[in-house]
């Protein structure tokens, strides 16, 4: 891992880009995984076809399996000392017959109730091009698959859950609601005119969904009806955030603007303009909204004022994920250039406090907790970062008061070659799961074999 401190300021990107040329994508470094992700973001069918032709030469992410995807024997490298020990903390979960396209981790917050912790906290739920949804229990080593949910007729794109339900959205334009305990289909919510890209379960038996038809809809599961179309964008919605405490919704996607609504007041609050390409990621915390775009920049916005407070422009590719570190009050960005950048407030401005180059492919997922940080990249490489708690009279990092620079690489599993589309993290149990195009889920338990 190469880590270096940087005083790069949040300035306008030095790379000139033509927003009207939708087929033109920024040049990235080498790496098969990065090239594949880059081609998937391109709207050029030619580049996607060439990417799939290169993929056929890839080897399967076999993990502990002795065979490749096509069933042929896989060569074992017996020259690497301790390989058997290293492999035991990575499990391959098999069951899907198509690429993994959606992955969700059931958090403790989702399933908490007055009785105590629910057993399904820490479960992973996956969706695939095989139209099925599978629920996995990592605590059952060797028998992780708990249930298979079937009902969609096209690729599953989004998954959410709460104490009693699993909600899924699909390219078939429908939203299905399942009983988590009995695995029975409860409701089918129809009303979108395009693939469903985002779903989220809310309190009071409500579900929020977003679609490529440009709408965001609120549903009442008890009546199987759409309560209201709470937001409209001019193009496909790719990412969505909702603060249920104050009723504020943020959504963004292909129309390059981020839109905000006050659902309780039934009005649009702001249209956040500034990006010149698709917005791929969005995070809302308190009065702050963070957006990441294909124009190689991330922007920080004020919810109350609807104004852009800063532009983070040090990446050399589309920014695919953004995260907020609540304890540091800092921002983490991940890009197709394979870089992680840690940003923090500095004398009224924003500066890049640290760069991490442990990954060689596009960063697809960033999940930040209080002291743990889970990262996943398109080449199936995973990493877990830890920030030691500060002790009295000492600092957690060696850089004069920089909290964001205190993140340290804790562990990274043995690397394998595979194409990954989605990643989910369970920071409480130090687990990260990736879903590949080969239909396999790779579950890494970082607490084993320390």
In the predicted model, is pLDDT for residue 14 greater than 50? no
Q: How far is CA 433 from CA 103, 123, 359, 446, in A?
A: 8, 11, 16, 11
Binned at pLDDT 50, 70 and 90, residue 73 comes out as very low
The mean-pLDDT minimum among 48-52, 135-139, 318-322 falls in: 48-52
Please state the rounded mean pLDDT for residues 16-25.
Answer: 38
Write out pLDDT tens, residues 148-179: 999 999 999 999 998 889 999 999 999 999 99
32-41 helix and 45-55 helix, angle to the nearest 10 degrees: 150
Which is more confident, 59 or 369? Answer: 369
All CATH 2.130.10.10 domain ranges in the chain, comma separated: 97-232, 314-388+403-449
Give the pLDDT band of residue 112 (cuts 50, 70, 90): low
For the residues 23-49, what does the mean pLDDT come to? 41
pLDDT at 56 over 60: no
- From the number of C-beta atoms within 10 Å of its C-beta (0-12, 13-18, 19+), residue 325 rates as buried
Are the beta carbons of 397 and 413 closer than 8 angstroms? no
The whole-number pLDDT of residue 41 equals 43
Summarised one tens digit per residue, pLDDT across range 425-436 is 999 889 999 999
Q: What is the reported pLDDT for 390?
A: 57
Give the model's pLDDT for residue 445.
92
Asked if 237 and 252 count as a contact pair (C-beta separation under 8 A), the reply is yes
| Mean pLDDT across 199-209 | 91
Q: What are phi and psi of 8, to 5 degrees?
A: -60, 130
pLDDT of 40? 41
The arithmetic mean of pLDDT across residues 253-257, rounded, is: 94
Percent of the chain exceeding pLDDT 70 equals 74
Q: What 3-state class would DSSP assign to 441?
A: strand
Name which of 132-141, 224-233, 413-422 the model is least confident about: 413-422
In CATH terms, the superfamily for domain 314-388+403-449 is YVTN repeat-like/Quinoprotein amine dehydrogenase (2.130.10.10)
Q: How confident is the model at residue 402 (pLDDT cuts 50, 70, 90)?
A: low
pLDDT the model gives residue 184: 94
- pLDDT of 79 strictly over 80: no
User: What's the average model confidence in pLDDT over 134-146?
Assistant: 92
DSSP 391-433: -TT--SSSSTT-SGGG-EEEE-PPP----EEEEEEETTTTEEE
pLDDT at 400 over 80: no
Phi, psi of 126 (to 5 degrees): -120, 150
List beta partners, residue 354: 342
The pair of three-digit structure tokens given for residue 316, joined into one six-digit string: 């050399």
Mean pLDDT of 364-375: 90
Indicate the pLDDT class of residue 294, thresholds 50, 70 and 90.
Answer: very high
Q: What is the mean predicted confidence (pLDDT) over 82-100?
A: 74
* Ramachandran angles phi, psi of 353, nearest 5°: -90, -25
Q: CATH assignment of 97-232, given 2.40.50.1020, 3.30.70.20, 1.10.287.130, 2.130.10.10? A: 2.130.10.10
HEC states along 84-151?
A: HHHHCCEEEECCCCCCEEEEEECCHHHHCECCECCCCCCCEEEEECCCEEEEECCCCCCCCEEEEEEC
pLDDT at residue 270 above 90? yes
């Amino acid at each position: 891992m190469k880590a270096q401190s940087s005083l790069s300021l949040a300035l306008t990107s030095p790379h000139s880009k033509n927003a009207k040329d939708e087929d033109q994508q920024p040049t990235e470094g080498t790496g098969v995984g990065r090239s594949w992700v880059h081609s998937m973001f391109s709207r050029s069918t030619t580049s996607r076809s060439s990417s799939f032709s290169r993929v056929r030469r890839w080897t399967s992410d076999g993990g502990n399996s002795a065979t490749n995807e096509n069933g042929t024997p896989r060569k074992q490298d017996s020259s690497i000392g301790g390989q058997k020990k290293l492999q035991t903390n990575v499990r391959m979960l098999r069951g899907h017959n198509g690429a993994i396209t959606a992955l969700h981790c059931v958090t403790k917050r989702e399933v908490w109730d007055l009785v105590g912790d629910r057993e399904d906290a820490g479960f992973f739920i996956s969706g695939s091009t095989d139209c099925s949804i599978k629920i996995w229990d990592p605590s059952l080593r060797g028998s992780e698959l708990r249930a298979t949910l079937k009902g969609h007729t096209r690729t599953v794109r989004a998954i959410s859950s709460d104490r009693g339900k699993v909600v899924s959205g699909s390219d078939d334009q429908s939203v299905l609601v399942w009983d988590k305990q009995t695995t029975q289909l409860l409701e089918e919510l129809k009303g979108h005119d395009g693939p469903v890209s985002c779903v989220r379960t809310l309190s009071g038996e409500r579900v929020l969904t977003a679609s490529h038809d440009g709408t965001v809809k609120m549903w009442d599961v008890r009546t199987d009806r759409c309560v209201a179309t709470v937001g409209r964008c001019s193009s496909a919605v790719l990412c969505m955030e909702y603060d249920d405490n104050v009723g504020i919704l943020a959504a963004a996607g292909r129309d390059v603007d981020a839109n905000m609504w006050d659902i309780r007041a039934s009005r649009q609050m702001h249209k956040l303009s500034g990006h010149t390409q698709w917005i791929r990621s969005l995070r809302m915390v308190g009065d702050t909204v963070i957006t990441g775009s294909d124009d190689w920049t991330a922007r920080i916005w004020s919810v109350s004022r609807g104004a852009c407070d800063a532009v983070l422009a040090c990446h050399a590719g589309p920014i695919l994920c953004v995260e907020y570190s609540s304890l540091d009050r800092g921002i983490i960005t991940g890009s197709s250039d394979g870089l992680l950048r840690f940003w923090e407030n500095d004398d009224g401005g924003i500066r890049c406090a640290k760069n991490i180059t442990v990954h060689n492919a596009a960063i697809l997922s960033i999940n930040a907790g209080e002291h743990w940080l889970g990262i996943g990249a398109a080449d199936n490489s995973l990493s877990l970062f830890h920030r030691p708690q500060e002790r009295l009279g000492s600092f957690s990092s060696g850089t004069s008061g920089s909290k964001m620079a205190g993140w340290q690489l804790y562990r990274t599993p043995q690397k394998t070659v595979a194409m990954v589309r989605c990643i989910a993290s369970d920071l409480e149990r130090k687990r990260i799961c990736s879903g590949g195009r080969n239909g396999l889920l790779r579950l890494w338990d970082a607490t084993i074999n320390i």
